[in-house]
Structure 1
């Protein structure tokens, strides 16, 4: 599998058959073009020197910024009281292209090979619109296409004194920490409070040694006051 992820100069041709990116420079102008499954974009940037960075980003941006929450539905898992279990899920990939110059970074493009699906977690008058993804539940790291799906290691801790069944997890993408090499990964935790309530958050660590951390879209946006570490799932775990 040929990956598009990495750092490039202002003269680069990056191609996989599914995704093709072209970067050229003429007279202090950078020309950027992209073809992803027939969807094309062309942009011009006034910049003398810098870098192009391509990496997976938080998968909540397309076709537009409808939500910042990701919901993953998976095969039901029954947890005994006061237990802990790590499972592996998949999540959809969106790819960000950044331009870094003069000590600053700007988001140039976002694209994906996936067609986004959305759902509602909670009730219409107080719930959350979520980017929805269906995943199988794996007991070890699954093989994935790194241009389409990443691997989420989810540590589920049942703090309740009863058996609890879980079949979905909802996350605030502001806290996502994405890493990549030959595959894309995140590491998260779900702390089950009772049979209907849980709390999720992310760990800032790679799934395996030697992975590179992605630039984060929300960090680049620099929106004042936009910070959240946990998401409270108070509308059910199934």
Structure 2
């Protein structure tokens, strides 16, 4: 079975490229000396772009899983993972759990040394939640998830969800209950293989105490560029979020 995520070449004079994700159909083909990109949602035209290229060898369109931040528009930079079953941890202990988050699908026009996002869509409805107070809280993309201590214990739906590994370190002298984690996602580049998707490296959640108050730091390591894209700039960053409104 052909993988849908990856780089797809459209040759001049060839049949149009057609890729279908559930009720979303992508069609890329020649049109009046250029190339047309069209996406149909449940049969209706949802997005359209004209791609002009003077290259004789055709064009390359990249289709990849992306962080759930762009549809219907960019309103959040973080994902609020609400655990369906809370996690109880002993004092001064460490644990690794697995969960899942929603993803979106990004379509890129790619060339030798750069790329441009031309479309983004989601196969699942978007849900949002406020973390913190109404006056100073943070709007997040909401994800409710089961948790497991093994990868095999989490069932991840292709094209809709990604697996995430969460390392939790309880550095305080109390038994704690964790029911949610806020994960910074702005800049996260998801990995994929055989159309399965996961967050690379995982997320570190550290609970400490300062001045008599619990402090929760969340750190996510992210690759700015994916190895199967053509952009030549590649570096790694660490995204951070302080959960100061409870966990």
Question: Would you say same fold, with TM above 0.5?
Answer: yes
Alpha-carbon separation, structure 2, partners of 1:102 and 1:33: 23
How far did residue 19 of structure 1 move? 3.1
Distance 1:232 1:48 in 2: 49
C-alpha displacement at 1:197, in angstroms? Answer: 3.1
Which 10-residue stretch deviates more, 167-176 or 119-128?
167-176
- When residues 168 and 113 of structure 1 are mapped into structure 2, their CA distance, relative to the original with a 3 A threshold, is same
- Residue 198 of structure 2 corresponds to 185
Q: Which has the larger radius of gyration?
A: 2
Asked if 1:147 corresponds to 2:159, the answer is yes
Alignment of 1:197 onto 2:224: no
| 1:161, distance to aligned residue in structure 2 (A) | 2.0
Partner of 2:122: 112
CA drift at 1:27: 5.3
Q: Which runs of 5+ in 1 are unaligned?
A: 206-211, 220-226
Is the CA contact 2:128–2:141 (under 8 Å) kept in the aligned structure 1? yes
CA RMSD of aligned residues (A): 2.5
- Residue 80 of structure 2 corresponds to 71
Q: How far, CA to CA, are the matches of 1:214 and 1:52 in structure 2?
A: 12
Distance 1:162 1:202, change over 3 A: same
The residue aligned with 1:208 is none
Show CA shifts across 1:180-225 (max 9, x none). 11311012111122485311122348xxxxxx7676xxx9xxxxxx
User: How many Å apart are 1:72 and its aligned residue?
Assistant: 0.6
Does the Cα contact within 8 Å between 2:69 and 2:186 map onto a contact in 1? no
Q: Which residue of structure 1 lines up, in the alignment, with residue 14 of structure 2?
A: none
The count of aligned residue pairs is: 222
Partner of 1:224: none
Q: Distance in 2 between matches of 1:149 and 1:214?
A: 20
Query: CA distance change for structure 1 residues 214 and 179 in 2, over 3 Å: closer, same or farther?
Result: farther
